[in-house]
Amino acid sequence: MTLSLYSDEHYMREALKQARYALAEDEIPIGAVVVLERQIIARAYNQTEKLRDVTAHAEMLALTAAANHVGNKYLSDCTLYVTIEPCVMCAGASAWAQVQRVVYGAHEEKRGFRRHGNLLHPRTELATGILAAEGAELMQQFFAQKRK
């Protein structure tokens, strides 16, 4: 099976690469990319331990990089791809940035934003479940290693 260059799966695979970088650095393995006009304009992974910053989630870092790339705090023509359901903070940041579309892989039962209702911008489209098993597997690996 070949993927279209512009499919959700293609961009989610790029986010999964970022999550693997996080895993290699002993960070919670979540990755994110921001896409504008079929081009990835920002990539990031969780760096809360490395930066000693509780806000250094993949989504936050990717949104900041994307805003710097476009020269605007609003990302209304962008799609945020993230391997795991964003937390309340990251969903709120995507709402403030007016992201056009949020696509995530696996649900996050404990800290995912959807437990609290729809926190995205009213015009933001949401797609879920894209390569969810791959993102969930990285999380399981990470936490299994922590329990050893």
Domain with residue 133: its CATH number is 3.40.140.10
Domain that holds residue 26: 8-143
| Positions marked active-site | 59
**pLDDT at residue 139 in the model:** 96
Q: What is the value of pTM for the model shown?
A: 0.94
| 87 assigned to a ligand binding site | yes
Is 148 within a domain?
A: no
Instruction: Encode pLDDT of 86-107 as tens digits.
Output: 999 999 999 999 999 999 999 9
Residue of higher predicted confidence among 94 and 3: 94
Inside any domain, residue 116: yes
Helix axes 58-70, 8-24, angle to 10 degrees: 120
Residue 59 included in any domain: yes
Give residue 5's pLDDT band: very low, low, confident or very high (50, 70, 90).
low
- Torsion angle of alpha carbons 9, 15, 19, 20, nearest 10°? 70
Report if residue 1 sits inside a domain: no
Domain count, the chain: 1
Rounded to the nearest integer, the mean pLDDT of the chain is 95
Residue 121 belongs to some domain of the structure: yes
Tell whether residue 90 is among the known ligand binding residues.
yes
Residue pLDDT, tens place only, 17-62: 999 999 999 999 999 999 999 999 999 999 999 999 999 999 999 9
Amino acid in position 136? A
